[in-house]
Chain A
Amino acid sequence: MQKKKLPALLLSVAMLGALATACGSNNNNNGGSSDASPSASSPPASSPAASPSSSEPASPSASASDEKVTIKIYYPTADKPELRAIEDAKIKRFEAKYPNVTVVPDDWQYNVNEIGPKMAANEAPTFFNTFATEAKMLVEKGWAADITDLWNNYEHKDDINPVLQNQFNLDGKVYGVTQNGYVSEVVINKKMLADKGVAMPSYDWTWDDLYNIAKQVADPKKGIAGIAPMAKAGDGGWNWTNFLFEAGGEIQTVADGKVTAAFNSDAGVKALDFYKKLRWDANAVPQDWALDWGGATGAFAQGRAAMVIAGADGPLQQALQAGISPQDLAVYPMPAVQAGGKHTGVLGGNYLVINPNATKAEQQAAFNYIVFDYYSDDALASLEKSIQDLKTKGQYYVPPHMDYYKPDSEYGKKVQDLLAKYDNAFKYDPSEAALLDGKPEAQYNTQDYYSTMTNVIQEVFSKKNSDSKAVLDKAAADMQSKFYDNIKVQ
């Protein structure tokens, strides 16, 4: 009997040990591989590469140190094989150049609802993607590393597209690196218009043009919408804000240290009334209109909506993947309220932010990785190979409409020359691009505003006789009391 006690005791101890190990596993972003990074757990200050003001060469392409580090990188999801192929090639080249760095892909995509738990659990990758709206929140929460020193040592810092980069420069400090950006545009299925005998408008089009096209193309009995404005989650408010901006409105005003809701202005009423017209007069929106970005762009790709509003590359990619010919797709600026007016759209962008929990050595490696392909001929060669690979598979490459480099820079021209060589690379029309007027998103509680506005849009889509001014006033009062009144602008 005494003999039976020992295994029982050992089993208990083993289970406790396993439990303690599971609970206490370090989350220092080493991808769980302690072998890979034996020195990563040492205090950052003890690392020779820890100090950003070290006397290492300024260029990020120069090796920061020989310290072995593992970085978890932002990686495309499995439904984007073309982007994964480009990233895989980059990882290979990066690891060849920095043999001390192990790169672990992590396909977690930034999500407003997930970033809190990710950071609290120390599970966020070494760097992750985010949007322009998130800068203020991430910085205030302490979830974005201050990379000013790394930035200042970066040789191409003055060549980066300032319109995009400025959105992540706060109070003289740099908290993120721009990847690419967009001004909201309207992507149109030309074939659906042609099938209904509707002529394509000029790029300098108006709200009336959009309304008439949507109305004529819509066929509710067949489940076909003229346009699919988003109306779910925060995406609804984000989509509608384009119309608010075109009508000359603002989301919020900042004065005397206070933030005040401004979207219930006359411009807001005008924009909301336009949505009501599309829904109730033209019957041109999807009948199951509670669609988020994926739902709306999905409806467009399936040929169930003739128009969709977004940064153009996303819906284009989906539509091309779904088999729509590039000849049947057109990208238009947001329509102006009246002829000759501005084609204002929300200016947004994708940014890469470094995890402040990463060690200095990991932050340096992450920064090196982020800018590794920026302005490099290797990147061009890799892009060309990817486009060729896609061509053999009958797939398309859709470049972002705005990129990290200045469009008129030498590098920008090189990229355009490369894309011009391939018919499977989507090309934007420069005359359309010239009309784009990007307006940055608001910085305070923008996601909360988007969600609040989605509720308003759902109300006007549900109730034919809703009073636009009244619902906007109520939403503005809600935003003011719940969020804006708590902000003290420094």
Chain B
Amino acid sequence: MEHTAVSTAGPPAATGRSKPSKWKKYRSGYLFLLPATVLFILFLWVPIVKGIVFSFENVDFVKGNTFVGLDNFRTVFQDPEIGVSVKNTLYYMGLCLVIGFWVPILFAVIISEIRRFQGFVRIAAYLPNVIPLVVLYGLWRWIYDPVGPINAALQWLGLGQVLFMTDTHWSMASLVIMETWQQFGSAMLIYLAAVLSVPKDWYEAAEIDGAGIWARIRHITLPSIRNLIGLLFILQLIATSQGYQSQLAMLDGGPMNATMTYGLKIVKYAFTQQNYGVASAMGVLMFIVLGFLAVIQFRMNNREDR
């Protein structure tokens, strides 16, 4: 590499026989970085900066934007529905942890213990991930139907009917169950890779010492993937704090705003009320909160690498 760098530097320039400048030395590398840098600037940093600028403006694509100071932020703090949406988002994040977070870990551990047909089970567990969202929503509408399969089973067991979509106590949980079913497969694959990378001889030694499955999981598997669990925990918090897709598609934030998340409220401000200024202000506030989570995730990532 050293040879390459020197040889590509070309003949010494006007500076005489001094070392070639860093730019000349790494010119090819910089050029390779350029497309990615441009992409990042155009599609990541420019929108972020624009979003911050928009949050202080009344956005009008035709007549031009006008500076409105902190008005948009004032609107955010004065809108009682935004308070509701924050509560709903925290509730949604909590439900996703309680209902969904442990599922991929459990499946990864179980699948790692399976000796036959492991590949088949792995694919079967991942399959819901590839279902198109439209099909997913249609399928679960049927599953949750007042006379659908779950309610038929409940009736058969002599239990009461559950209105999964329209009962405000159930609506958010119903969406979380649906999302967990669809999404646990990808996290499971990550966990599974980590579980399978634990040295086999540790398990063999433990078995010789008389450790059962539970002891092996508790004392070898879980400690080995502890950092990964922490990392995916933070990533899940970041992802679920922005959730709005299923809430929008299945219930449009209803019934009675029970599934109106903060992300969905941003969508409503931006695209239903065409108030991009307030939507941007909400985005900036979220950016600040998520920034903290991102820092934690970044630190954990570094620790993991070390």
Contacts and interface: CB of A to CB of B under 8 A. Distances in A.
Interface of A: 1-2, 4-5, 8-9, 12, 15-16, 19, 23, 112-114, 116-117, 119-120, 137, 141-143, 220-223, 231-233, 286-290, 292, 447-448, 451, 454-455, 458-459, 461-462
A12 B34 contact: yes
A1 B4 CA distance: 7
Contacts of A462: 166-168, 255-256
Given A232-B254, A233-B252, A23 B42 contact: yes
B147 interface: yes
Contacts of A4: 28
A8 B32 contact: yes
Contacts of B270: 116
Nearest to A448: B273
Interface string B266-279: 01001111101000
Nearest to A1: B7
Interface string B119-156: 00000000000000000000000001111000000000
Given A1-B3, A116-B271, 8 more contacts: A1-B7, A4-B28, A12-B32, A117-B271, A232-B251, A288-B165, A290-B252, A461-B255
B147 A223 contact: yes
B8 A1 contact: yes
Contact of A2 (B7, B145, B165): B7
Nearest to A460: B256
Contacts of B163: 287-288
29 contacts: A1-B8, A2-B7, A5-B27, A5-B28, A12-B34, A16-B38, A19-B38, A112-B271, A113-B267, A114-B271, A116-B271, A116-B274, A116-B276, A141-B61, A142-B62, A223-B146, A223-B147, A232-B251, A288-B145, A288-B163, A288-B164, A288-B166, A289-B166, A290-B254, A447-B272, A448-B272, A448-B273, A455-B254, A458-B256
B28 to A, nearest CB: 5
B273 A454 contact: no
B35 A12 contact: yes
A71 to B, nearest CB: 22
Given A233-B252, A290-B166, A290-B255, A113 B271 contact: yes
The 8 tightest CB contacts between A and B, nearest first, are A223-B147, A142-B62, A287-B146, A113-B271, A15-B35, A12-B31, A458-B255, A233-B252
Contacts of B31: 8-9, 12
A109 to B, nearest CB: 15
Given A287-B166, A290-B166, A458 B272 contact: no
B255 A16 contact: no
A20 to B, nearest CB: 9
Given A223-B147, A232-B252, A288-B145, A142 B274 contact: no
Contact of B8 (A5, A12, A15, A114): A5
B257 interface: yes
Given A288-B165, A288-B166, A290-B165, A113 B272 contact: yes
A288 B255 CA distance: 10
A81 to B, nearest CB: 19
A288 B7 contact: no
Nearest to A225: B146
B8 A2 contact: yes
A286 B63 CA distance: 46
Interface in B240-269: 251-252, 254-257, 267
A458 B254 contact: yes
B196 to A, nearest CB: 37
B39 interface: yes
Interface in B21-69: 27-28, 31-32, 34-35, 38-39, 42, 60-63
B254 A19 contact: no
A62 to B, nearest CB: 32
Nearest to B10: A2
B18 to A, nearest CB: 21
Contacts of A23: 42
A2 B27 CA distance: 12
A114 B274 CA distance: 10
Contacts of A231: 254
A129 B265 CA distance: 26
Contact of A288 (B32, B146, B271, B276): B146
A394 to B, nearest CB: 26
Contacts of A290: 165-166, 251-252, 254-255
B61 A120 contact: yes
A223 B166 contact: no
A19 B61 contact: no
Contacts of B164: 288
B34 A223 contact: no
Most chain A Cβ neighbours within 10 Å, of B3, B145, B252, B270:
B252
Contact of A16 (B28, B34, B168, B276): B34
Given A287-B163, A287-B166, A288-B163, A455 B257 contact: yes
Contacts of B166: 287-290, 461-462
Contacts of B252: 232-233, 290, 292
A119 B61 contact: yes
Contacts of B61: 116, 119-120, 141
A459 B146 CA distance: 19
Contacts of A141: 60-62, 274
